[in-house]
Amino acid sequence: MMNGTWKVDARDGKLAMAHIYVAFVALALGGLAGLLQVLVRSGKFELPAGISYYTILTTHGVLLGLVLTTFFIIGFQFAAVSRTAGTLSDRVRFWGWVGFWLMTIGTAITAFYILIGEASVLYTFYAPLQAHAGFYIGLTLVVVGSWISGFAMFAHYAKWKKAHPGQVSPLLTFMPVVNMVLWLICSLGVAATVLFQLIPWSLGYVDRINVLVSRTLFWYFGHPLVYFWLLPAYMIWYAIIPKIIGGKMFSDSLARMSFILFLIFSIPVGFHHQLVEPGIDPAWKYLQVVLTFMVVIPSLMTAFSMFATFEMYGRSKGATGLFGWLRKLPWGDARFFAPFIGMLFFIPAGAGGLVNASHQLNQVVHNTIWVTGHFHLTLATTVVLTFFGAAYWLIPHLTGRVMTKAMNRLAIIQTIVWSIGMIFMSSAMHFAGLLGAPRRSAFSTYGDAPQALEWIPYQIAQAVGGTILFIGIILVLIIVTNLAFFAPKGETEFPVAEVAEQAERTPLVFENWKLWIGIAVVLILIAYTVPFIDMIQNAPPGSKGFKLW
């Protein structure tokens, strides 16, 4: 039992926990910045000591959107591959630590320049807003560190494949590999704009920057980034939740197929963030919108698979009628309850995503706070609640402790508090966005304009929701601190589900990396080559850097 197959080796556990600690520190600081934001936007609160609203906006976006997610995901994936493909070799673990320290140092540098007010470029660090070069260099270190960790996982996977020729790899090793391949391909875009455009520009080596190229490279990265966050939640749903409820996985093949579809279709779709951007031919926007809608397919496959798993389990426990199986699910287990609530929130979140990606509907909501509301449903609810649910067994497994009944009860309360806060905040954002309220902007009545005054009640509702969410953050930090340092010593299982007997055998074609990466690259070239050549050949004069705050 202790040979690394069933229990994550203590040395691998340390590596995973290091990432998870940083993730939760980012949650605390980024959550505080978020609370300050919603209070300022309500118009009832002003920041002290000349702190700029746009400084805390950048802090919130970078710490929660990039740092919390990337660190938690890489920590979780290291634990998953160690658990399913055997203990990491010393070399893989060494490079995992190198990646971790590069990311941590990069995060510290980035945070420093944001907090001293030299990098208030909002969450998307969009040109022509210009930050201090240190901000871009710090983010580069974060990306490079994550690449090193990705290659360490690839090396571990390759070693397993060599030892087991002709066999299908463990699902929780295959899935992190797909996710890191996705991350590697998409983050090349942000690396290119940062290294070749933003750093030379911020250092003053070049005076002007091609804004359209910079934004296009950013969104080549920015949309697949959402799936980099989402796929680890899917890993937990597919491979872990069935075990937690006491059931079996509906289909291993279907899980792999959905991940491959995400790899293929999530990258050549960045233009749907640029539908109102001049300089891109509408025909190319149309192509990328069509490809965006293809991403709906693996999401619907996942929904089908999860509810099939739940129903199979409920029926095996004697449930009858159309929805009788719902009563058989373990509602009192926070490890199930938090991710399940995340799944439910993904239904309106996905519908909102279809609105954002539709050319005509996008005209209504583009650059309004509707988009922020959508973002908080997908990442800050679906993904984050699933990560919290995973932390409730992952942290005690890695620290050799057990979650007590009291902590489990607190975790259920935390999930409910989070859901109530998000319903208030996200709904208010969606409604205010439909009324035209802008995103990314501090409180303003725009000279008491009648339209702007319509937004104020919604902004107060956002502040109420954001305050409830902050209470949720405090609760989860109490639980995580307990599980890491104070919970009783003991053995906690790292649950990995078996596949149902009636499921089809998994074909080896899913691990034909040349085929799948080849298709992904071809689609990217089709979607981006001509528009890119056009942007460079017909480039406007370019823009100088702006520092507005």
pLDDT at 49: 81
How many whole angstroms separate alpha carbon 125 and alpha carbon 198? 10
Is 126 contained in some domain? Answer: no
Does pLDDT of 4 surpass 60?
no
How many whole angstroms separate alpha carbon 196 and alpha carbon 2? 48
Name the domain count of the chain: 1
Is 57 contained in some domain? Answer: no
Task: Report the SS3 class of residue 414.
Answer: helix
Mean pLDDT of 207-233: 94
- Expressed in percent and rounded to 5, the helix, strand and coil fractions of the chain are 75, 0, 25
Say whether 431 is catalytic: no
- pLDDT above 70 coverage of the chain, percent: 99
Is 124 contained in some domain? Answer: no
Between the alpha carbon of residue 253 and those of residues 170, 245, 301, 416, 475, the distances in Å are: 12, 21, 11, 34, 38
Is 344 contained in some domain? Answer: yes
How many whole angstroms separate alpha carbon 225 and alpha carbon 350? 16
Does the bond joining 176 to the residue before it have cis omega, within 30 degrees of 0? no
Give me the catalytic one of 78, 174, 221, 227.
Answer: 227
Please report how many Cα atoms fall inside a 13 Å half-sphere around the Cα of residue 512, on the Cβ side: 10
User: What's the CA angle centered on 456, arms 452 and 459, to 5 degrees?
Assistant: 120
Q: Which tokens belong to 487?
A: 């919970």
Residue type, 28: A
Give me the catalytic one of 41, 83, 156, 223.
Answer: 223
Is 200 contained in some domain? Answer: no
Give me the catalytic one of 41, 439, 494, 532.
Answer: 439
Say whether 315 is catalytic: no
Task: Please give the residue range of the domain that contains residue 476.
Answer: 330-504
Interhelix angle 334-357/296-316, rounded to 10 degrees, is 150
Dihedral in degrees, nearest 10, Cα atoms 98, 101, 105, 107: 110
Residue 6 carries which DSSP code?
S
- pLDDT above 90 coverage of the chain, percent: 90
Scored b (16 or more CB within 10 A) or e, 442-469 reads bbeeeeeeeebeebbebbbbbbbbbbbb
Q: Which tokens belong to 506?
A: 């998994």
More confident residue, 467 or 117: 467
Say whether 409 is catalytic: no
Which residue carries 């449903």 as its tokens? 377
Is 382 contained in some domain? Answer: yes
Does pLDDT of 240 surpass 80?
yes
Is 495 contained in some domain? Answer: yes
Dihedral in degrees, nearest 10, Cα atoms 129, 133, 134, 140: 90
Does pLDDT of 350 surpass 80?
yes
Asked whether the CA dihedral 204, 209, 213, 214 is positive or negative, the reply is positive
Return the H-helix or E-strand segment holding 214. helix 211-239
Give me the catalytic one of 83, 256, 374, 430.
Answer: 374
pLDDT at 502: 83
pLDDT at 125: 82
CATH classification of the domain holding 491: 1.20.210.10
Tell me the whole-structure pTM to 2 decimals.
Answer: 0.96
Residue 441 carries which DSSP code?
-
What is the pLDDT of the chain when averaged over all its residues?
A: 94
Say whether 397 is catalytic: no
Lowest mean pLDDT of 17-31, 226-240, 288-302, 471-485, name the range.
288-302
Say whether 375 is catalytic: yes
Mark residue 127 as left, alpha or beta (left: phi above 0; alpha: psi -120 to 50; beta: remaining). beta
Q: What is the pLDDT of residues 155-201, one digit of tens each?
A: 999 999 999 999 999 999 999 999 999 999 999 999 999 999 999 99
pLDDT at 124: 76
Does pLDDT of 2 surpass 50?
no
Give me the catalytic one of 174, 346, 375, 458.
Answer: 375
Between the alpha carbon of residue 96 and those of residues 79, 85, 210, 350, the distances in Å are: 11, 16, 36, 34
Is 366 contained in some domain? Answer: yes
Does pLDDT of 3 surpass 50?
no
Local confidence band at 549 (pLDDT 50, 70, 90 cut-offs): confident
Lowest mean pLDDT of 2-6, 497-501, 512-516, name the range.
2-6
If you write DSSP's letter for every residue of 119-173 in order, what string do you get?
A: ---TTTT-TTB---HHHHHHHHHHHHHHHHHHHHHHHHHHHHHHHSTTSPPPHHH
Lowest mean pLDDT of 30-34, 146-150, 324-328, 538-542, name the range.
538-542
Say whether 376 is catalytic: yes
Give me the catalytic one of 376, 397, 401, 430.
Answer: 376
pLDDT at 501: 85
Mean pLDDT of 422-450: 95
Residues contacting 505, CB < 8 A, separation 6+: 253
Q: What is the pLDDT of residues 297-341, one digit of tens each?
A: 999 999 999 999 999 999 999 988 889 999 999 999 999 999 999
pLDDT at 373: 97
More confident residue, 362 or 123: 362
How many whole angstroms separate alpha carbon 392 and alpha carbon 334? 7
Say whether 439 is catalytic: yes
Local confidence band at 121 (pLDDT 50, 70, 90 cut-offs): confident
Contact between 442 and 53 (Cβ < 8 Å): yes
Does pLDDT of 351 surpass 70?
yes
Asked whether the CA dihedral 6, 11, 12, 13 is positive or negative, the reply is positive
